[in-house]
């Protein structure tokens, strides 16, 4: 019904010669799912979202909602809801008037109008604030008014542009879960923009990692974290060690990669083809490395940062940097700079990337 498809969408802003904000983007948002656009500042997330809203016109390509081409449909005729970063509540109206605003523009009977508004205010726990001005609400309450106002018109698609960035850390997590719960309950197709990777993973059905106007990877939260398509995605989705190595042997089910004289992994091969002797990169998350007196790997400590729950070590393994966390320090003691540690790596979650990246990398995963 309201599946969203971006086909070959390109956006160049006039006047900014040569700069392409979004470059031939193809993206599908399945009915009822929440897709997050994630990426560093300036990568084109907001631009993509605003093209779906209709605030920006694509330079090229088409956008469809539920099979209808909306590329040239004006904003107010798209039936799309949006929660803004600044909430953008109408300051001269009460909470009820804010929520009512969009409903009044629908061809509804008076009674139904009131029912809808009342029920959404109830759902969002806003009934008692209905007659307040938005300025006299807390940040979280304002956020809920913004959400209520966006969904009360029953839009086909719901858009969020960094909706939680104005909230403090604790409230942020709570609101994040609330947003997701309501999205699931209403089953509304949603596009969510953020640059916080943990927020993206927590809230989404799919995470789309963007960089410089193109999609790096479009995948489930689990996959973008544990099976990153590119080194960029691996590093953007949290701390990652990218260790260079060489393929030693390949058989039916496994591949063996040597990182250094003391370190080698044997991994499940997956769908990819590897040649013996091929140079590769291994993505190793810090949490999969631990201090182990019996470990095969030797690492020289370069920096030690005590962080309370754990100690973060920056070490060197035959010229390659490797970061890991030790949460067992109270038993083994904290190592000092210059000391050599023996480590072991849980090789099951290690992910192998080719030496060089190609444009099709994201899709290979």
Partner 1 sequence: MTLASQATPSGRTAAAPAFLRNIVVDPWLFGIFAVTTLSVLVFAALPIFTVLKQAVVTEHGFDIAVLISTLSQSFVWESLANTLLLGATSALIATAAGFLLAFSATRTTMPGKIFVHGVALLPIISPPFVMALAVVILFGRSGLITRELLGIRNANVYGFHSLVLIQSLAFTPIAYLNIRGMLQSIDSALEDASASLGASRWTTFSRVTLPLVTPAILSSTLLVFVKSVEDFGNPMLIGGNFNTLAVEAYSQMVGYFNLQAGALLASLMLVPSMTAFLIHRYWVSKRSYVTVTGKPSAQTIRISGAVVVPLTIACYAIVLAILLFYLTVIYVSFTRLPGVDNTLTTAHYVTVFTAGFHTLSNSLLLAGIATPVTAIAGMLIAYLLIRKAFPGSFLLRWGTLLSFAAPGTILGIGYVSTFNAPPLLLTGTAFIVIAAMVVKNLQVGIEAGSNQLRQIDKSIEEASTILGASNTRTFFQITLPLLKPALFTSLSYAFTRSLTTLSAVIFLVSANWTLITVTILSQVETLKLGVAAAYCSILVFVVLAILALMQLVLNSTSKR
Ligand X SMILES: Nc1ncnc2c1ncn2[C@@H]1O[C@H](COP(=O)(O)OP(=O)(O)OP(=O)(O)O)[C@@H](O)[C@H]1O
* Residue 75 or 106 with smaller CB distance to Mg ion: 75
46, 48, 194, 204: which one binds Mg ion (CB under 5 A): 46
User: At its nearest, how many Å lie between partner 1 and the CB of residue 212?
Assistant: 16
* Residue 153 or 197 with smaller CB distance to partner 1: 153
Nearest Cα neighbor of 95 from 129, 70, 125 is: 129
Using the rule CB under 6 A, is 21 a contact of ligand X?
yes
The CA-atom distances, in angstroms, between 146 and each of 12, 109, 325 are 30, 23, 40
What six digits make up the tokens of 187?
């089953």
According to CB under 6 A, which residues from 256 to 275 bind ligand X?
none
Cross-strand pairs, 219: 207
Q: What is the dihedral of CA 231, 236, 237, 242, to 10 degrees?
A: 40
According to CB under 8 A, which residues from 66 to 85 bind partner 1?
72, 74-82, 84-85
3, 12, 269, 290: which one binds partner 1 (CB under 8 A): 12
Mark 146-165 with x for binding to partner 1 (rule: CB under 8 A) and - for no binding.
---x---x------------
Asked whether the beta carbons of 146 and 91 are under 8 A apart, the reply is no
Residue span binding Mg ion (CB under 5 A) among the ranges 39-47, 117-125, 170-178, 305-313: 39-47
Using the rule CB under 6 A, is 46 a contact of ligand X?
yes
What six digits make up the tokens of 150?
């966006």
* Residue 23 or 312 with smaller CB distance to ligand X: 23
User: At its nearest, how many Å lie between ligand X and the CB of residue 130?
Assistant: 33
According to CB under 6 A, which residues from 71 to 110 bind ligand X?
none
Strands (E) across the chain are located at 4-11, 22-29, 34-38, 60-65, 68-69, 80-83, 157-161, 189-194, 206-211, 214-219, 241-250, 254-258, 264-268, 279-284, 289-291, 297-306, 311-317, 320-326, 340-345, 351-354
How many angstroms separate the CA atoms of 227 and 216, rounded? 13
Write out the residues near partner 1 by the rule CB under 8 A: 10, 12, 14, 53-55, 57-60, 72, 74-82, 84-86, 88-92, 101-102, 105-106, 133, 149, 153
Write out the residues near ligand X by the rule CB under 6 A: 13, 16, 21, 39, 41-47, 195
């Amino acid at each position: 019904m309201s599946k969203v498809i971006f086909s070959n969408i390109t956006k160049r802003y006039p006047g900014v010669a040569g700069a392409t904000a979004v470059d031939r983007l193809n993206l599908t948002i399945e009915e009822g799912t929440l897709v997050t656009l994630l990426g560093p500042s300036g990568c084109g997330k907001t631009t993509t979202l605003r093209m779906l809203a209709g605030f920006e016109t694509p330079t090229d390509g088409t956008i469809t909602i539920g099979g209808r081409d909306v590329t040239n449909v004006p904003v107010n005729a798209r039936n799309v809801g949006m929660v803004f970063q600044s909430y953008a509540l109408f300051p001269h109206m009460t909470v009820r008037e804010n929520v009512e605003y969009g409903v009044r523009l629908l061809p509804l009977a008076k009674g139904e109008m009131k029912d809808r508004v009342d029920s959404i205010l109830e759902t969002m726990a806003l009934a008692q604030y209905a007659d307040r001005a938005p300025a006299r609400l807390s940040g979280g309450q304002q956020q809920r008014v913004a959400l209520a106002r966006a969904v009360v018109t029953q839009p086909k698609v719901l858009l969020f542009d960094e909706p939680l960035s104005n909230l403090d850390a604790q409230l942020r997590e709570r609101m994040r879960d609330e947003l997701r719960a309501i999205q699931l309950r209403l089953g509304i197709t949603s596009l969510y923009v953020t640059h916080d990777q943990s927020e993206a993973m927590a809230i989404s059905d799919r995470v789309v990692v963007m960089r410089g106007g193109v999609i790096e990877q479009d995948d489930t939260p689990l996959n973008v974290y544990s099976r990153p398509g590119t080194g960029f995605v691996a590093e953007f989705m949290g701390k990652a060690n990218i260790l260079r190595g060489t393929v030693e042997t390949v058989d039916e089910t496994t591949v063996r990669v040597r990182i250094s004289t003391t370190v080698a992994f044997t991994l499940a091969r997956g769908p990819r083809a590897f040649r013996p002797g091929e140079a590769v990169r291994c993505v190793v998350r810090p949490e999969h490395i631990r201090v182990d007196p019996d470990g095969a790997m030797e690492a020289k400590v370069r920096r030690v940062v005590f962080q309370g729950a754990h100690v973060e070590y920056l070490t060197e393994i035959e010229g390659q940097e490797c970061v890991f966390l030790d949460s067992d320090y109270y038993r083994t003691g904290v190592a000092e700079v210059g000391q050599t540690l023996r480590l072991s790596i849980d090789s099951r979650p290690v992910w192998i990337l080719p030496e060089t990246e190609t444009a099709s990398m994201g899709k290979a995963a």
